[in-house]
């Protein structure tokens, strides 16, 4: 069969995922009724997030398949939060970042019409017993997350809620991904502190727990946690309860002692060690991460390809907390 350029034998597939089937758009929330323009499939739920469900939908005029995220927002204050999300997405034109197509505002909610991606959450791949995840797959996933983060950070945007649930696979057969959920994202303001609801503490950076300044490298901590989870199926800081988890994070208490890491390359471990650091200014940035040998050394990638180093555990001890 025909091979894509960049996907040579034993080489790393570095081709970007398919772009959205529309040009980047500057969106504002329209007061029109969405059902005059789109047919939303209320039966088909693509995923749930903190603020509502995502459904498959079709634009009537073009036949384009899209995704509609319904966000409950009654008060003016709640609506402003969603409009911030729209503003952030207006700045982000990149194949690894889900694209916004339109937005509709009504009395009780704002509906975001988004690029459709049908491969499910990366989280489900981590825990899927039937899917053999290799270290080289993790390289391919993490590279793309870094590419997306590099673009966001270049545009001065912080994501601040990176976790495997917010990484979508383009399809079940390729390792292409797109980052979603910009509900907590914001333009970087030096000295800004962040108050977030402690829904899933496993992914929080120490500076977020401490209510200290957040920065680009706050996202890089999350990247370290995701990398650790992809390679092992384990959660680096998970304790017996939320309190213990938070303590583990603040004490930066984590290790590679689990048997899941026996075959993991030294480069992969070094990559994680340079991200899971309490002092955020010592962590690698997105561009630096892309230059790290684990993501850039083709000889290493060839070795991983021939050795077929598996990410050993298929089961994650990070059970997602059901979100309201």
If the CB atoms of residues 65 and 317 are measured against ligand PIT, the closer one turns out to be 65
* Residue 37 CA from chain centroid, whole number: 30
The token duo for 294 is 């684990």
Catalytic residue list contains 212: no
* 86 interacts with ligand PIT by CB under 6 A: no
Among residues 109, 161, 181, 219, which one is catalytic? 161
If the CB atoms of residues 100 and 246 are measured against ligand PIT, the closer one turns out to be 100
Q: Strand 65-72 and strand 109-115: pairing?
A: antiparallel
* 49 interacts with ligand PIT by CB under 6 A: yes
State the minimum distance, in angstroms, from the CB of residue 157 to ligand PIT: 12
- Given 38, 104, 123, 182, the residue binding ligand PIT (CB under 6 A): 182
Q: 3-state class of 45 per DSSP? A: strand
**How many of the other CB atoms lie within 10 Å of CB of 319?**
10
If the CB atoms of residues 183 and 233 are measured against ligand PIT, the closer one turns out to be 183
- Given 113, 117, 146, 235, the residue binding ligand PIT (CB under 6 A): 117
Binding residues: 69
If the CB atoms of residues 112 and 275 are measured against ligand PIT, the closer one turns out to be 112
If the CB atoms of residues 124 and 263 are measured against ligand PIT, the closer one turns out to be 124
Q: Do residues 317 and 234 touch, judged by C-beta distance below 8 A?
A: yes
How far apart CA 83 and CA 89 sit, in angstroms, is 10
How far apart CA 38 and CA 226 sit, in angstroms, is 35
Binding residues for ATP: 69
Q: Strand pairing partners for 68?
A: 55, 113
* 318 interacts with ligand PIT by CB under 6 A: no
Of 262, 320, 11, 2, which is closest to residue 136 (Cα–Cα)? 11
* 116 interacts with ligand PIT by CB under 6 A: yes
* 104 interacts with ligand PIT by CB under 6 A: no
Please give the residues from 139 up to 168 whose contact with ligand PIT meets the rule CB under 6 A.
168
Q: 3-state class of 42 per DSSP? A: strand
Of 179, 180, 218, which is closest to residue 196 (Cα–Cα)? 218
Using CB under 6 A as the binding criterion, the count of chain residues that bind ligand PIT stands at 17
Angle between helices 266-273 and 135-154 (to 10 degrees): 30
The token duo for 300 is 């290493």
- Given 29, 92, 98, 111, the residue binding ligand PIT (CB under 6 A): 98
User: Which range touches ligand PIT (CB under 6 A), out of 15-23, 112-120, 221-229, 290-298?
Assistant: 112-120
Residues with a catalytic annotation lie at 161
Catalog residues that contact ligand PIT under the rule CB under 6 A.
46-47, 49, 54, 67, 69, 85, 98, 114-117, 168, 180-183
């Amino acid at each position: 069969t025909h091979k894509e350029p960049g996907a040579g034998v034993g080489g790393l597939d570095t081709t970007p995922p398919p772009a959205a089937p529309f040009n980047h758009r500057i969106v504002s929330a329209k007061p029109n009724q969405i059902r005059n323009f789109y047919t939303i499939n209320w039966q088909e739920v693509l995923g749930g997030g903190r603020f509502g469900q995502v459904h498959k939908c079709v634009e009537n005029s073009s036949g384009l398949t899209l995704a509609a995220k319904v966000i409950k927002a009654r008060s003016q204050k709640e609506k402003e939060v969603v409009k911030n999300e729209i503003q952030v997405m207006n700045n982000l034109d990149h194949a690894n970042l889900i694209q916004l197509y339109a937005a509709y505002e009504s009395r009780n909610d704002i509906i975001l019409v988004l690029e459709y991606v049908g491969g499910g959450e990366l989280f489900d791949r981590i825990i899927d017993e039937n899917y053999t995840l290799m270290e080289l797959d993790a390289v391919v996933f993490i590279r793309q997350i870094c590419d997306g983060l590099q673009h966001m950070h270049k545009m001065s945007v912080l994501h601040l809620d990176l976790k495997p649930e917010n990484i979508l696979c383009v399809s079940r057969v390729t390792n292409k991904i797109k980052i979603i959920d910009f509900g907590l994202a914001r333009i970087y303001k030096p000295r800004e502190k962040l108050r977030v609801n402690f829904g899933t503490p496993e992914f929080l950076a120490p500076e977020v727990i401490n209510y200290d300044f957040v920065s680009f490298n706050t996202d890089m901590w999350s990247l370290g946690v995701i990398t650790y989870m992809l390679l092992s199926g384990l959660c680096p800081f998970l304790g017996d309860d939320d309190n213990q988890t938070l303590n583990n994070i603040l004490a930066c208490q984590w290790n590679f002692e689990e048997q899941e890491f026996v075959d993991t390359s030294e480069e992969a471990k070094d990559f994680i060690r340079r991200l899971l650091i309490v002092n955020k200014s010592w962590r690698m940035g997105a561009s630096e991460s892309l230059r790290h040998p684990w993501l850039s050394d083709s000889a290493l990638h060839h070795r991983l390809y021939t050795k077929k180093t598996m990410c050993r555990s298929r089961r994650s001890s990070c059970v997602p907390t059901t979100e309201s």
